[in-house]
Structure 1
Amino acid sequence: MMINILVVEDDPKLNQIVCKYLTQNGFHAQGCLNANAAYDAMYNQLFELIISDIMMPEIDGFEFARTVRELNRTIPILFMSAKDDLPSKQKGFQLGIDDYMVKPIDLDELILRVRALLRRANIEMDRKIIVGNLVLDADAISAEVDGEEVPLTTREFNLIYKLLSYPKKTFSRAQLMDEFWESDSDASLRAVDVYVTKLRDKLSACDGFKIVTVRGLGYKAVLQ
């Protein structure tokens, strides 16, 4: 099961950074810049956890948290805010949030808190993907084919883990570039093609899937 996390943060850069780091640590993160977009996302998809700022353009995060609690009493909510005062924290916890982090946040600490919240909510993370004779372990960032380890770089691992997490879903080169290359990278979209070629070569002995090129768009994993 891929854990879906909704990130509600009106700072586009911070939103992207948090989503990317969550993704790199085995979660599926979707970012929204305001509460209305978050409500739409929640209507169309189930989320296991929400990370929210308390400062939003149209309503504050407290009102957002109150609405989320009315819609779903069990989903964990983590506030991240520049407000470090006790009254803000008290108000958040009185509304039913589950954790509170003060900006600037430490991303590694965020991951620890997310996993702790999921454990408390009894949401289990299956961080292994098994397809045919291939086993991908997101915790160890390792790949094995027929029990033998296949050396993959972190970026190679993230790419194949992403594709196999959503079989048959096409990802554009730009999507993959935005997610797995740094924003200031000078690499072109062709870099994605190079990595896919390497993956096809390294995982050529896998019998459960193929990485298919979708002409003019990008790539998808097709199970066999």
Structure 2
Amino acid sequence: MAVIRSPNSAFAAVTCRDFRKADVRNLIFVLLDAAAWDTGSAALILKCGADDVQPAPIHTDEFVARLKALTRRGAYNDHLFIKMPGCVYDAETGNAVSDRGKQHLTETEARLLTALALDPSKIFSKADLMDHMYGGEDEPEQKIIDVLVCKLRNKLLEMNDGLDVVRTVWGRGYQFEPKGFPPVFRQRVRAVR
């Protein structure tokens, strides 16, 4: 994500255009100084590739809410490709594709994979993932994250030659491992009565 604070609309428009010409696919949020703000300049900046333009200063809560809304809408997913050990996920089609075929991910599985893959160094708590995937709107119980991780793993295991790409960090959350790792299966022990 790129946040550009600009004193004038021409600089912001050129910067957005240059980012898009360089194939930068991140979200671009422009804060334009109030003295340069008018609807014509905002329209130009949006036409040059910005995802949102707002006058500065902006209230912190509104700024965060706008960024979350842009993320929920998936503006950055249009041309996103996530490379894994045996396949590539294409956000435009919703398919993980390998030389053996393709596997379609549901919208929620895709949002989960995207959230994890965009920052592989981060360990995402269930609350982080819920915020990214649902943004406080019509949120199911947090247990849904465990269910979605399980379904996503099952689909990706066969596409990645048996390697897992979603690591469970016990007590903390989940993390994306782009190179993959052999999964560890725990056996359930049943109590004898």
Q: TM-score range by the shorter chain?
A: 0.5 to 0.7
Unaligned runs of 5+ in 2: 6-24, 55-68, 181-193
Q: What is the 5 A alignment of 1:194-205?
A: 194-205=147-158
Q: Deviations over 1:43-91 (max 9, x none)?
A: xxxxxx3233x6xxxxxx336x7xxxxxxxxxxxxx7xxxxxxxx336x
The equivalences for 1:140-219 within 5 A come to 140-181=93-134, 183-205=136-158, 206-207=160-161, 209-219=164-174
**CA 1:132 to 1:221, structure 2 compared with 1: closer, same or farther past 3 Å?**
same
Q: Distance in 2 between matches of 1:157 and 1:165?
A: 12
Structure 1 residues without counterparts, runs of 5 or longer? 9-26, 30-48, 55-60, 66-78, 80-87, 116-124
Match of 2:30 in 1: 51
Q: Distance between the aligned counterparts of 1:168 and 1:209, measured in 2? A: 16
| 1:221 match | 176
Q: Which amino acid aligns with 1:159?
A: L
| Shift, 1:6, TM fit | 3.1
Judged with a 3 Å threshold, the aligned counterparts in structure 2 of structure 1 residues 213 and 51 are, in CA distance, closer, same or farther, namely same
* Identity of matched residues, %: 26
Q: Which residue is 2:22 aligned to?
A: none
Contact 1:135–1:144, Cα closer than 8 Å, also in 2:
yes
Q: Does 1:89 align with 2:39?
A: yes
Q: Partner amino acid for 1:99?
A: L
Once superposed, what is the RMSD of the aligned Cα atoms?
Answer: 3.6
CA distance in 1, matches of 2:103, 2:135: 25
1:139 aligns with 2:89: no
* Pair member with larger Rg: 2
Provide closer, same or farther for how the CA distance between residues 182 and 142 of structure 1 changes in structure 2, counting only shifts above 3 A: same
Equivalent residue letter for 1:62:
A
Q: TM-score, normalising length from structure 1? A: 0.48
State the match for 1:62 in structure 2: 34
Q: Report the secondary structure of 1:132's partner residue.
A: coil
Q: How far apart, CA to CA, are the structure 2 residues paired with 1:146 and 1:166?
A: 26
Matched pairs, number: 135
> Higher mean Cα deviation, 169-178 or 198-207?
198-207
Match of 2:46 in 1: 99
The answer on whether the counterparts of 2:45 and 2:53 sit within 8 Å (CA) in structure 1 is: no
- TM-score scaled by structure 2? 0.55
